[in-house]
Structure 1
Amino acid sequence: MTQEEIFDKVKDILVDQFDLEDSEVTMTTNMTDDIDADSLDLFEVLNQVEDEFDIKLEDTEEVSTVADLVNKIKEQTDKK
Structure 2
Amino acid sequence: MESSNVANRVRAIIIEQLGVDPAHATDDASIVDDLGADSLEVAQIVMMIEDEFNIEISDESADAVVTVGAAIYVRRRVKD
| Interval containing the TM-score (normalised by the shorter chain) | 0.7 to 0.9
Q: Which runs of 5+ in 2 are unaligned?
A: none
RCO higher in structure (CA 8 A, sep ≥6): 1
RMSD: 1.1
User: How far has the Cα of 1:14 moved from its partner?
Assistant: 1.4
> What percentage of residue pairs aligned between the two structures are identical?
26
User: How far has the Cα of 1:36 moved from its partner?
Assistant: 1.2
CA contact 1:30–1:64 (8 Å) conserved in 2:
yes
Question: What is the count of residue pairs matched by the alignment?
Answer: 78
SS at structure 2 position matched to 1:35:
coil
Q: Normalization by structure 1: what TM-score?
A: 0.87
Q: Which runs of 5+ in 1 are unaligned?
A: none
- 1:14 corresponds in structure 2 to 14
CA contact 2:11–2:72 (8 Å) conserved in 1:
no
- Runs (4 or more) in structure 1 with deviation over 3 Å come to none
1:13-65 deviations in whole A, cap 9, x for unaligned? 11111111211111111111111111100111111100001110111112211
User: How far has the Cα of 1:2 moved from its partner?
Assistant: 2.9
